[in-house]
Protein backbone atom coordinates (compact mmCIF):
# COMPACT_ATOMS: atom_id res chain seq x y z
CA UNK A 1 0.00 0.00 0.00
CA UNK A 2 2.05 2.84 -1.32
CA UNK A 3 1.88 6.21 0.38
CA UNK A 4 4.31 9.03 -0.21
CA UNK A 5 4.80 12.70 -0.77
CA UNK A 6 7.20 14.26 -3.23
CA UNK A 7 8.07 17.43 -5.18
CA UNK A 8 5.87 17.79 -8.21
CA UNK A 9 8.59 19.06 -10.58
CA UNK A 10 10.82 16.10 -9.82
CA UNK A 11 8.16 13.51 -10.37
CA UNK A 12 6.97 15.28 -13.49
CA UNK A 13 10.42 15.13 -15.11
CA UNK A 14 10.87 11.53 -14.16
CA UNK A 15 7.52 10.65 -15.70
CA UNK A 16 8.35 12.40 -18.95
CA UNK A 17 11.65 10.54 -19.20
CA UNK A 18 10.33 7.12 -18.33
CA UNK A 19 7.14 7.33 -20.34
CA UNK A 20 9.09 7.55 -23.59
CA UNK A 21 10.63 4.19 -22.89
CA UNK A 22 7.41 2.34 -22.09
CA UNK A 23 6.60 -0.43 -24.50
CA UNK A 24 4.01 0.51 -27.04
CA UNK A 25 2.30 -2.04 -29.25
CA UNK A 26 3.60 -4.90 -27.27
CA UNK A 27 1.61 -7.97 -26.48
CA UNK A 28 2.15 -7.48 -22.79
CA UNK A 29 -0.01 -4.50 -21.73
CA UNK A 30 1.79 -3.98 -18.46
CA UNK A 31 4.84 -2.80 -20.40
CA UNK A 32 2.87 0.32 -21.32
CA UNK A 33 2.92 1.39 -17.74
CA UNK A 34 5.42 2.97 -15.37
CA UNK A 35 6.22 1.03 -12.27
CA UNK A 36 6.41 3.04 -9.03
CA UNK A 37 8.50 1.54 -6.29
CA UNK A 38 8.47 3.35 -2.98
CA UNK A 39 11.08 2.28 -0.49
CA UNK A 40 13.41 3.93 1.99
CA UNK A 41 13.61 7.61 1.23
CA UNK A 42 12.91 7.51 -2.43
CA UNK A 43 10.49 6.70 -5.22
CA UNK A 44 11.84 4.71 -8.12
CA UNK A 45 10.13 4.84 -11.48
CA UNK A 46 10.82 2.13 -13.96
CA UNK A 47 9.86 1.51 -17.59
CA UNK A 48 11.03 -0.77 -20.34
CA UNK A 49 10.23 -1.69 -23.92
CA UNK A 50 12.45 -4.76 -23.81
CA UNK A 51 15.12 -3.06 -25.87
CA UNK A 52 15.74 -0.18 -23.48
CA UNK A 53 15.10 -0.04 -19.78
CA UNK A 54 15.16 2.95 -17.50
CA UNK A 55 14.95 3.56 -13.77
CA UNK A 56 14.82 7.03 -12.25
CA UNK A 57 15.00 7.69 -8.56
CA UNK A 58 13.46 10.79 -6.99
CA UNK A 59 13.63 11.72 -3.32
CA UNK A 60 10.31 11.28 -1.50
CA UNK A 61 8.83 11.20 1.95
CA UNK A 62 7.68 7.59 2.04
CA UNK A 63 5.05 6.77 4.63
CA UNK A 64 4.23 3.33 3.35
CA UNK A 65 6.39 1.28 1.04
CA UNK A 66 4.93 -0.53 -1.94
CA UNK A 67 4.76 -1.02 -5.69
CA UNK A 68 2.18 0.02 -8.28
CA UNK A 69 2.04 0.11 -12.06
CA UNK A 70 0.11 2.82 -13.87
CA UNK A 71 -0.34 3.61 -17.53
CA UNK A 72 2.49 5.85 -18.70
CA UNK A 73 0.54 7.77 -21.28
CA UNK A 74 -2.21 8.61 -18.79
CA UNK A 75 0.37 9.83 -16.31
CA UNK A 76 2.05 12.17 -18.78
CA UNK A 77 -1.37 13.47 -19.72
CA UNK A 78 -2.11 14.23 -16.11
CA UNK A 79 1.20 15.75 -15.17
CA UNK A 80 1.50 17.94 -18.20
CA UNK A 81 -1.68 19.62 -17.05
CA UNK A 82 -0.87 20.11 -13.39
CA UNK A 83 0.83 23.46 -12.98
CA UNK A 84 1.05 23.83 -9.22
CA UNK A 85 4.42 24.07 -7.62
CA UNK A 86 3.77 22.29 -4.32
CA UNK A 87 4.20 18.71 -3.34
CA UNK A 88 2.09 15.89 -4.60
CA UNK A 89 0.81 12.97 -2.55
CA UNK A 90 0.52 9.51 -4.07
CA UNK A 91 -1.54 6.91 -2.31
CA UNK A 92 -2.70 3.49 -3.32
CA UNK A 93 -6.20 2.50 -2.34
CA UNK A 94 -8.30 -0.48 -3.48
CA UNK A 95 -6.44 -0.99 -6.74
CA UNK A 96 -6.42 2.71 -7.51
CA UNK A 97 -3.71 5.29 -7.27
CA UNK A 98 -4.81 8.59 -5.75
CA UNK A 99 -2.85 11.64 -6.87
CA UNK A 100 -3.51 14.59 -4.62
CA UNK A 101 -2.30 18.15 -4.84
CA UNK A 102 -3.73 21.15 -3.09
CA UNK A 103 -6.09 21.90 -5.91
CA UNK A 104 -6.73 18.53 -7.56
CA UNK A 105 -7.77 15.02 -6.69
CA UNK A 106 -7.16 12.28 -9.22
CA UNK A 107 -8.04 8.61 -8.99
CA UNK A 108 -6.19 6.40 -11.40
CA UNK A 109 -6.64 2.72 -12.12
CA UNK A 110 -3.64 0.58 -11.38
CA UNK A 111 -2.38 -2.25 -13.53
CA UNK A 112 -1.51 -5.56 -11.95
CA UNK A 113 2.20 -5.12 -11.34
CA UNK A 114 3.38 -8.68 -10.73
CA UNK A 115 4.01 -9.10 -14.45
CA UNK A 116 6.19 -6.02 -14.69
CA UNK A 117 9.68 -7.21 -15.61
CA UNK A 118 12.93 -6.42 -13.91
CA UNK A 119 15.56 -4.38 -15.66
CA UNK A 120 18.88 -6.10 -16.24
CA UNK A 121 21.72 -4.89 -14.09
CA UNK A 122 24.69 -4.91 -16.40
CA UNK A 123 27.90 -6.40 -15.18
CA UNK A 124 31.17 -6.05 -17.03
CA UNK A 125 33.79 -3.43 -17.76
CA UNK A 126 33.08 0.08 -16.49
CA UNK A 127 34.32 3.54 -17.20
CA UNK A 128 33.19 7.08 -16.46
CA UNK A 129 32.74 9.85 -18.95
CA UNK A 130 31.43 13.40 -18.79
CA UNK A 131 27.87 13.24 -20.04
CA UNK A 132 28.46 16.24 -22.30
CA UNK A 133 31.26 14.40 -24.05
CA UNK A 134 29.16 11.29 -24.44
CA UNK A 135 26.25 13.24 -25.89
CA UNK A 136 28.57 15.21 -28.14
CA UNK A 137 30.08 12.01 -29.47
CA UNK A 138 26.78 10.33 -30.19
CA UNK A 139 25.10 13.44 -31.53
CA UNK A 140 27.93 14.15 -33.95
CA UNK A 141 27.44 10.91 -35.82
CA UNK A 142 24.10 9.19 -35.16
CA UNK A 143 22.18 10.86 -38.01
CA UNK A 144 24.40 8.94 -40.44
CA UNK A 145 23.14 5.56 -39.29
CA UNK A 146 21.18 3.37 -41.60
CA UNK A 147 17.47 3.56 -40.83
CA UNK A 148 16.62 0.15 -42.17
CA UNK A 149 16.80 -2.99 -40.06
CA UNK A 150 18.21 -5.12 -42.83
CA UNK A 151 21.77 -4.65 -41.74
CA UNK A 152 21.63 -4.24 -37.96
CA UNK A 153 25.39 -3.67 -37.82
CA UNK A 154 25.12 -0.33 -39.52
CA UNK A 155 21.73 0.57 -38.15
CA UNK A 156 23.62 1.60 -35.06
CA UNK A 157 26.10 3.95 -33.46
CA UNK A 158 29.46 2.25 -33.09
CA UNK A 159 32.02 3.30 -30.54
CA UNK A 160 35.38 2.05 -29.45
CA UNK A 161 38.47 3.33 -27.71
CA UNK A 162 41.64 4.29 -29.52
CA UNK A 163 44.64 5.89 -27.87
CA UNK A 164 43.16 8.49 -25.56
CA UNK A 165 39.98 8.82 -27.56
CA UNK A 166 36.57 7.38 -27.57
CA UNK A 167 35.65 7.12 -31.26
CA UNK A 168 32.03 7.26 -32.40
CA UNK A 169 31.09 6.16 -35.92
CA UNK A 170 27.93 5.78 -37.97
CA UNK A 171 27.37 5.01 -41.59
CA UNK A 172 24.52 4.09 -43.87
CA UNK A 173 27.04 3.17 -46.56
CA UNK A 174 26.39 6.37 -48.49
CA UNK A 175 28.02 8.65 -45.99
CA UNK A 176 29.98 8.13 -42.85
CA UNK A 177 30.60 10.25 -39.78
CA UNK A 178 33.38 9.74 -37.27
CA UNK A 179 33.90 11.75 -34.09
CA UNK A 180 36.78 11.38 -31.70
CA UNK A 181 36.30 12.47 -28.12
CA UNK A 182 39.26 12.86 -25.82
CA UNK A 183 38.86 10.89 -22.62
CA UNK A 184 41.78 10.56 -20.29
CA UNK A 185 42.83 7.15 -19.06
CA UNK A 186 40.03 5.44 -20.78
CA UNK A 187 39.19 1.83 -20.20
CA UNK A 188 39.68 -0.32 -23.27
CA UNK A 189 36.39 -0.47 -25.17
CA UNK A 190 36.48 -3.16 -27.83
CA UNK A 191 33.64 -1.81 -29.98
CA UNK A 192 29.98 -1.56 -29.08
CA UNK A 193 27.02 -1.22 -31.40
CA UNK A 194 24.09 0.65 -29.90
CA UNK A 195 20.88 0.16 -31.86
CA UNK A 196 20.02 3.30 -33.77
CA UNK A 197 16.44 3.22 -32.49
CA UNK A 198 17.61 3.54 -28.89
CA UNK A 199 19.92 6.45 -29.55
CA UNK A 200 17.36 9.29 -29.44
CA UNK A 201 16.22 8.13 -26.01
CA UNK A 202 19.75 8.03 -24.69
CA UNK A 203 20.32 11.54 -26.01
CA UNK A 204 17.12 12.77 -24.44
CA UNK A 205 17.76 11.29 -21.02
CA UNK A 206 21.34 12.50 -20.74
CA UNK A 207 21.15 15.52 -23.04
CA UNK A 208 20.17 17.95 -20.29
CA UNK A 209 22.16 16.26 -17.64
CA UNK A 210 25.57 17.56 -16.60
CA UNK A 211 28.02 15.40 -14.73
CA UNK A 212 29.71 12.07 -14.92
CA UNK A 213 27.99 9.06 -16.42
CA UNK A 214 29.15 5.60 -15.64
CA UNK A 215 29.07 3.25 -18.60
CA UNK A 216 29.08 -0.44 -18.00
CA UNK A 217 29.06 -2.92 -20.85
CA UNK A 218 29.34 -6.53 -21.87
CA UNK A 219 28.68 -8.22 -25.16
CA UNK A 220 24.91 -8.20 -24.79
CA UNK A 221 24.04 -5.11 -22.86
CA UNK A 222 25.20 -1.61 -22.00
CA UNK A 223 24.14 0.65 -19.16
CA UNK A 224 24.49 4.35 -18.47
CA UNK A 225 24.09 5.46 -14.90
CA UNK A 226 24.29 8.72 -13.07
CA UNK A 227 23.25 9.64 -9.54
CA UNK A 228 19.57 9.03 -10.03
CA UNK A 229 19.16 7.61 -13.52
CA UNK A 230 19.91 4.11 -14.72
CA UNK A 231 19.43 3.49 -18.44
CA UNK A 232 20.21 0.20 -20.11
CA UNK A 233 20.08 -0.82 -23.74
CA UNK A 234 20.69 -4.02 -25.58
CA UNK A 235 23.63 -3.93 -27.94
CA UNK A 236 23.85 -5.42 -31.38
CA UNK A 237 25.89 -8.54 -31.71
CA UNK A 238 27.76 -7.92 -34.93
CA UNK A 239 30.82 -6.50 -36.57
CA UNK A 240 30.97 -2.94 -37.80
CA UNK A 241 32.51 -2.57 -41.26
CA UNK A 242 36.23 -1.94 -41.35
CA UNK A 243 35.76 1.70 -42.21
CA UNK A 244 39.19 3.33 -41.65
CA UNK A 245 40.45 1.81 -44.89
CA UNK A 246 37.99 3.81 -46.96
CA UNK A 247 38.93 7.19 -45.53
CA UNK A 248 41.07 8.82 -48.23
CA UNK A 249 44.54 9.63 -47.01
CA UNK A 250 45.23 12.43 -49.44
CA UNK A 251 43.28 14.71 -51.70
CA UNK A 252 43.56 16.24 -55.14
CA UNK A 253 41.43 19.31 -54.52
CA UNK A 254 41.20 21.23 -51.24
CA UNK A 255 38.66 23.93 -50.41
CA UNK A 256 38.04 25.96 -47.31
CA UNK A 257 34.82 27.97 -47.09
CA UNK A 258 32.84 29.62 -44.35
CA UNK A 259 30.36 27.27 -42.76
CA UNK A 260 27.50 29.74 -42.66
CA UNK A 261 28.00 30.69 -46.32
CA UNK A 262 28.00 27.06 -47.28
CA UNK A 263 24.90 26.30 -45.27
CA UNK A 264 23.00 29.21 -46.83
CA UNK A 265 24.09 28.22 -50.30
CA UNK A 266 23.11 24.61 -49.75
CA UNK A 267 19.71 25.58 -48.46
CA UNK A 268 19.18 27.78 -51.46
CA UNK A 269 20.28 25.01 -53.78
CA UNK A 270 17.86 22.64 -52.16
CA UNK A 271 14.91 24.70 -53.33
CA UNK A 272 15.85 23.81 -56.88
CA UNK A 273 17.13 20.31 -56.40
CA UNK A 274 15.30 17.36 -57.91
CA UNK A 275 13.62 14.56 -56.06
CA UNK A 276 16.98 12.96 -55.40
CA UNK A 277 18.14 16.16 -53.66
CA UNK A 278 20.89 16.47 -56.21
CA UNK A 279 23.17 19.47 -55.93
CA UNK A 280 26.15 19.99 -58.22
CA UNK A 281 29.41 21.45 -57.11
CA UNK A 282 32.09 22.77 -59.42
CA UNK A 283 35.47 23.81 -58.12
CA UNK A 284 38.05 25.50 -60.34
CA UNK A 285 40.89 26.59 -58.08
CA UNK A 286 42.79 28.52 -60.77
CA UNK A 287 39.81 30.67 -61.61
CA UNK A 288 38.79 30.85 -57.94
CA UNK A 289 35.40 29.36 -58.66
CA UNK A 290 33.41 27.45 -56.08
CA UNK A 291 29.99 27.04 -57.57
CA UNK A 292 26.96 25.25 -56.19
CA UNK A 293 24.17 24.69 -58.65
CA UNK A 294 20.95 22.78 -58.92
CA UNK A 295 18.09 22.62 -61.32
CA UNK A 296 14.59 21.33 -61.35
CA UNK A 297 12.39 21.31 -64.43
CA UNK A 298 9.36 22.42 -62.50
CA UNK A 299 10.92 25.13 -60.35
CA UNK A 300 13.91 26.57 -62.14
CA UNK A 301 17.58 26.62 -61.44
CA UNK A 302 20.20 28.42 -59.43
CA UNK A 303 23.90 28.96 -59.14
CA UNK A 304 25.65 30.23 -56.03
CA UNK A 305 29.28 31.22 -55.83
CA UNK A 306 31.21 31.11 -52.59
CA UNK A 307 34.51 32.71 -51.68
CA UNK A 308 37.08 30.42 -50.25
CA UNK A 309 40.64 29.19 -50.31
CA UNK A 310 40.86 26.69 -53.14
CA UNK A 311 43.76 24.63 -54.41
CA UNK A 312 44.45 21.58 -56.54
CA UNK A 313 42.69 20.16 -59.57
CA UNK A 314 39.38 21.18 -61.05
CA UNK A 315 36.57 18.96 -59.93
CA UNK A 316 32.86 18.55 -60.58
CA UNK A 317 30.71 16.43 -58.33
CA UNK A 318 27.07 15.91 -57.53
CA UNK A 319 25.82 14.90 -54.14
CA UNK A 320 22.71 14.54 -52.11
CA UNK A 321 21.94 17.84 -50.44
CA UNK A 322 20.70 16.18 -47.30
CA UNK A 323 23.90 14.25 -46.76
CA UNK A 324 25.91 17.42 -46.87
CA UNK A 325 23.70 19.58 -44.68
CA UNK A 326 23.49 16.86 -42.04
CA UNK A 327 27.15 17.04 -41.18
CA UNK A 328 27.37 20.80 -40.75
CA UNK A 329 25.65 20.61 -37.37
CA UNK A 330 28.59 18.53 -36.14
CA UNK A 331 31.23 20.98 -37.26
CA UNK A 332 32.05 23.50 -34.57
CA UNK A 333 34.51 25.67 -36.44
CA UNK A 334 33.56 28.70 -38.55
CA UNK A 335 35.32 27.36 -41.62
CA UNK A 336 34.76 24.05 -43.28
CA UNK A 337 37.35 22.09 -45.16
CA UNK A 338 36.13 20.09 -48.15
CA UNK A 339 38.48 17.75 -49.92
CA UNK A 340 38.03 15.82 -53.16
CA UNK A 341 39.75 13.04 -55.00
CA UNK A 342 38.26 13.24 -58.48
CA UNK A 343 34.56 13.12 -58.97
CA UNK A 344 34.02 9.46 -58.22
CA UNK A 345 35.66 9.17 -54.81
CA UNK A 346 34.23 10.15 -51.43
CA UNK A 347 34.12 13.82 -50.51
CA UNK A 348 35.78 14.47 -47.17
CA UNK A 349 34.33 17.20 -44.97
CA UNK A 350 35.77 18.38 -41.68
CA UNK A 351 36.21 21.49 -39.59
CA UNK A 352 39.31 23.52 -40.33
CA UNK A 353 42.13 22.64 -37.95
CA UNK A 354 39.82 20.28 -36.11
CA UNK A 355 40.58 16.65 -36.74
CA UNK A 356 38.17 15.28 -34.19
CA UNK A 357 35.37 15.06 -36.74
CA UNK A 358 35.50 13.64 -40.23
CA UNK A 359 32.65 13.03 -42.64
CA UNK A 360 32.60 11.17 -45.95
CA UNK A 361 29.97 11.58 -48.65
CA UNK A 362 29.74 9.41 -51.72
CA UNK A 363 29.08 11.53 -54.80
CA UNK A 364 26.08 10.72 -56.93
CA UNK A 365 26.45 9.27 -60.36
CA UNK A 366 25.44 11.56 -63.09
Partner 1 sequence: MDTKQLWKRCLVEIETGVSKANFSTWFKNTSILREETGIVYVGVPNEFVRDWLKNKYHKLITKTIADAYENMRAVEYVITKLETDRQELSNINQPYLNKELPLKDLYINPDDNLNPRYRFDSFIVGGFNELAYAASQAIIDNPGTKYNPFFIYGGTGLGKTHLIQAVGNAIKEKYQDKKVHYMTLEKFATDFINSLQGNKANSFKEKYRKYDLLIIDDIQFIGKMEKIQEELFHTFNTFYENNKQIIFSSDKHPNHIPELADRLKSRFSAGMIVDISEPEYESRLAILKVKTQELGISFEPEILEYIASVISGNIRELEGNLNIVICQYRLKNKAPTLAEVKNLIKNNIKPKKNVNIKDVVKTVGEYYSLEETSIYEKTRRKEIVKARQVVMYLLREDFNVSYPLIGQKLGGKDHTTVIHSYLKIKADIKNDAQLLQELEQIRALFK
In the complex, the residues that contact partner 1 under the rule CB under 8 A are 26-29, 31, 48, 50-51, 53, 115, 117-120, 122, 150-154, 171, 173-174, 176, 220-221, 232, 234, 237-239, 241-243, 245-246, 342-346, 360, 362-363, 365
Residue 197 CB, shortest distance to partner 1, in Å, is 14
The DSSP-derived string for 24-79 is PS-S-GGGGEEEEEEETTEEEEEEE-SSEEEEEEEE-EEEE-EEEEEEHHHHHHHH
Query: Which C-beta is closer to partner 1: that of 53 or that of 308?
Result: 53
At a CB cut-off of 8 Å and minimum separation 6, what does 318 contact?
Answer: 278, 279, 280, 281, 363, 364, 365, 366
Residue 342 CB, shortest distance to partner 1, in Å, is 8
> Residue 153 and residue 209: Cα distance in Å, rounded?
29
Burial 334-350 (b: 16+ CB within 10 A, else e): ebbbbbbbebebbbbbb
Burial of 322 (0-12, 13-18, 19+ CB in 10 A): middle
Query: Which C-beta is closer to partner 1: that of 90 or that of 279?
Result: 279
At a CB cut-off of 8 Å and minimum separation 6, what does 109 contact?
Answer: 70, 71, 95, 96, 97
Residue 173 CB, shortest distance to partner 1, in Å, is 4
Query: Which C-beta is closer to partner 1: that of 119 or that of 281?
Result: 119
Residue 125 CB, shortest distance to partner 1, in Å, is 16
> Residue 71 and residue 168: Cα distance in Å, rounded?
36
Query: Which C-beta is closer to partner 1: that of 76 or that of 232?
Result: 232
Query: Which C-beta is closer to partner 1: that of 26 or that of 271?
Result: 26
Residue 179 CB, shortest distance to partner 1, in Å, is 18
Residue 56 CB, shortest distance to partner 1, in Å, is 18
Query: Which C-beta is closer to partner 1: that of 2 or that of 317?
Result: 317
Residue 148 CB, shortest distance to partner 1, in Å, is 11
Three-state DSSP at 218 gives coil
Query: Which C-beta is closer to partner 1: that of 17 or that of 232?
Result: 232
Cα distances from 45 to residues 6, 55, 213, 228, in angstroms, run 13, 5, 19, 10
Amino acid sequence: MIKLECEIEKIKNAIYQTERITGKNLTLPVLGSILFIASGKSLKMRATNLSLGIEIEVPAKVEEEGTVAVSGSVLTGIFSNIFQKENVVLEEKDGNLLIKTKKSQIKLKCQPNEDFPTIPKVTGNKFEIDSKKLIDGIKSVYYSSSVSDIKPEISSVYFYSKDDNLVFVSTDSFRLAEKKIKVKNIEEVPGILIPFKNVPEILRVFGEFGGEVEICFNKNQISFSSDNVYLTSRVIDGIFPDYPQIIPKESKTDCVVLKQDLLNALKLSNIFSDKFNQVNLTVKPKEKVFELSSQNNEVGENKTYLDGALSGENVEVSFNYKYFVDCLQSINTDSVSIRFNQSSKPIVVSGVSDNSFIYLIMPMNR
